[in-house]
A and B are shown apart, each in its own frame.
Chain A
Amino acid sequence: MTTGDLYDLLGLAHRATPDEIKAAYRNAARRFHPDVNPHPSATEEFKLIANAYVILSDPAQRTAYDTALQKAGSGPLVSIHWIPSRKTLPVQLEPQVFYTLVNITASLGGETELPAPPVNLCVVIDRSTSMQGARLDQVKTAVSQVIDSLRDNDSFSVVAYSDKAEVIVPAQQGLAERTLAKAKISTINAGGGTEILQGLMRGLVELQKRLSPSAVNHLILLTDGQTYGDEDDCILLATLAATDGIIITGLGIGDEWNDRFLDELTACTGGTAAYVNSPEQVKTFLWNKVRGLGSTYAERLTLYITPDVEVKLISAFKMGQEVGQVPVDGTSLRLGSLPKQQGVSVLLKFLLPPLSAEGERSIARLALYADVVSLGRRGERTTVDIILPGLADAPRLPPPTAIVEALSKLSQYNMQERAWQEATAGDIASATKRLSTLGTRLLSSGQTDLAKAALAEARRLEKTQSLSEEAKKNLKYGTRALLLASQPKDIQK
């Protein structure tokens, strides 16, 4: 399903003159402007038209768009390639595990210049007492920097929360009043508890004001503490936000926050959570994140996986610029956004039933939906079938390097997860043993620092019989970071 390009939105031919574009925009605006037309879908339509007009009325952006459109031709705008863990499936009477690494890339990546999509961003800042000092100061500086980097068609808002939330900078476009916004941010003071629900709710309301299906709608949640009792409501709210096309990124500062909760909250929108242990890192994180949003190729990547009869999808893990477990209990996987330059990968694990005969064995159909915001195309669909030949004497070939690399790191990540679960359940002996095994695995894969951390924590755990939150987060996000896409090749050279 393709909803057409920007010209279709304005009812124009591709050769329209600037005057025709202007006239068509005026005409469309008269039909759909929310002040004129009260129908709820009119507002949405108008936002699409307005965004299309921004690109088509600017000669430079229009040229870039036209070139990209030409290159795209009628082919899919988003490509899927999958790498299987084995090329043939052995015929056998017991179930077997099968992995596949699904790489999603922009068909028009690389040199093609694309218009930058408008960004609708809300930053939600924790201002609880524990943020006092360096943490809040760094966050404030970082947010002010973000304001300076915004472009004219971006929308921006800031919410601060403790046990109640307050809109510091209401959603605004164009940011004519950057100085005022920055002045307001500098007045944020620390004080109070941490109730994430409050902040999340106000933040989402601000985002809704400027919500557009052709924009990157994103909420960044900063926190340094635990929220109590409102976790389930937060998740529910995030799920609703996801259906509106909002992605949430979480940033935990220090060691006190609840990593499991923040992972879950962000994962259900297709976003991820990150960890910084020193306030100075907030700036880099925010800066990179916001820059990434501005170079988005496609938003709201949703992968529908339909396994064949008796095939079970066991787990999914997202890799690339962002890394995290993707919940597989629903019908679809939310994978967040696709950057222009770098693909998104997801490692899928399937359990296959016994294979009784040779021949083609279909495992699952993958259908990817994405809004290619950089080209104003929504609901782009790409489909692939995962099919492998079954053979009675399937050769035992070593699995492809890409899968081995991903899985060896993922198995290290999973080991530390199991260790924490065991430690939390009171099984200190198992947790200690697992951490020291993990240490040796990390050592043999060359991760000396993480290995030391794992071994030190194993010793500490044995002595004190209790977990250290700092070590836990270090190892969790450390082993997870190993799964981040490696630096582009030219940097290594």
Chain B
Amino acid sequence: MITCPACRHQEYEGELFCSECGARLWDSGIELPPTVTFNSRQLTDLPKTANPAAAITNLNTGQIALMVVGVPQPMVLEGRVEYYLGREVEAGQPPDVNLTPYGAREKGVSRRHASLRVDRRQLLLMDLGSSNGTQLNGSPLVANEPVRLESGDEIRLGKLSIRVYFNL
């Protein structure tokens, strides 16, 4: 059996779409560029700008910048359609956006907490059924239901606040 990543419904091997929620069940890694994993070491290597806010307003098309509140350096994401936000499992695979260096564990971020998906020049945020929930500009999200973000929105994964900027 395979488990739907969105709603945990069980489906037979070979099924392509979840019968419960219509989510895609196979991995279509083909047309996309290889996975880029960001971690704190790489982030410190990024050129420092005097004013991070300026960098954020000058994003190239297709870039998404995540500003963890209290951290001056943004994480810039680009090249993928979907990013999983979460923290690293011990000796396991890190998610696409690993929030462990920002005290994710202490702040109640789940290992697979939320996802950001680029969809026709829109950015969609979806809570993946996390333990402590996700908030958008202060209002909690329903799990597995994507919502559209505006550049500059503040999202909260557990107690970790992040501002999201993008130019799509």
Contacts and interface: CB of A to CB of B under 8 A. Distances in A.
Interface of A: 85-86, 90, 92, 94-99, 351-352, 396, 398-399, 403-404, 407-408, 411-412, 414-415, 434, 436-438, 440-441, 443-444, 446
Interface in B129-155: 144-146
A103 B102 CA distance: 54
B22 A415 contact: yes
4 cross-chain pairs, A with B, having the tightest CB-CB distances, nearest first: A411-B17, A97-B14, A96-B14, A96-B13
Interface residues of B, number: 26
A95 B17 CA distance: 17
Q: Considering residues B22, B23, B29, B119, which has the most beta carbons from chain A within 10 angstroms of its beta carbon?
A: B22
Interface of B: 1, 11-19, 21-24, 26-30, 117, 119-120, 124, 144-146
Contacts of A97: 11-15
A407 B22 CA distance: 10
Given A96-B14, A408-B17, A411-B19, 18 more contacts: A85-B16, A86-B14, A96-B12, A97-B15, A398-B26, A398-B30, A399-B16, A407-B16, A407-B17, A411-B17, A411-B22, A436-B145, A440-B146, A441-B22, A441-B23, A444-B117, A444-B124, A444-B146
A441 B119 CA distance: 11
Contact of B13 (A90, A399, A404): A90
A98 B14 CA distance: 6
Nearest to B146: A440
B12 A440 contact: no
14 contacts: A90-B13, A92-B13, A94-B13, A96-B12, A97-B13, A98-B14, A351-B12, A352-B14, A396-B26, A398-B26, A407-B16, A408-B22, A408-B24, A414-B19
A446 B13 contact: no
A440 B145 contact: yes
B136 to A, nearest CB: 14
Contact of B27 (A398, A403, A408, A437): A398
A398 B24 contact: no
Contacts of B1: 94
B76 to A, nearest CB: 24
B39 to A, nearest CB: 27
A443 B145 CA distance: 12
A415 B144 CA distance: 16
Nearest to A99: B16
Nearest to A397: B30
A142 B40 CA distance: 70
A437 B26 contact: no
Contacts of B13: 90, 92, 94-97
Nearest to A441: B22
Contacts of B30: 398
Which of the listed residues A86, A396, A411 has the most CB atoms from chain B within 10 Å of its own CB?
A: A411
A302 B136 CA distance: 54
Contacts of A92: 13
Contacts of A396: 26-27
A363 to B, nearest CB: 12
A441 B17 CA distance: 11
B80 to A, nearest CB: 15
B16 A437 contact: no
A411 B16 CA distance: 9
Contacts of B145: 436-437, 440
Nearest to A438: B22
A258 to B, nearest CB: 25
Nearest to B126: A440
Contacts of B14: 85-86, 96-99, 352
A208 to B, nearest CB: 43
A161 B120 CA distance: 50
Contacts of A441: 21-23
A95 B13 CA distance: 7
Contact of A437 (B22, B117, B119): B22
Nearest to A448: B120
A155 B151 CA distance: 65
**Central interface residue in B15, B23, B28, B29, by most chain A CB within 10 Å:** B15
Contacts of A96: 12-14
Which residue, of B11, B13, B30, has the highest number of chain A Cβ atoms within 10 A?
Answer: B13
Contacts of A95: 12-13
Contacts of B21: 415, 434, 437, 441
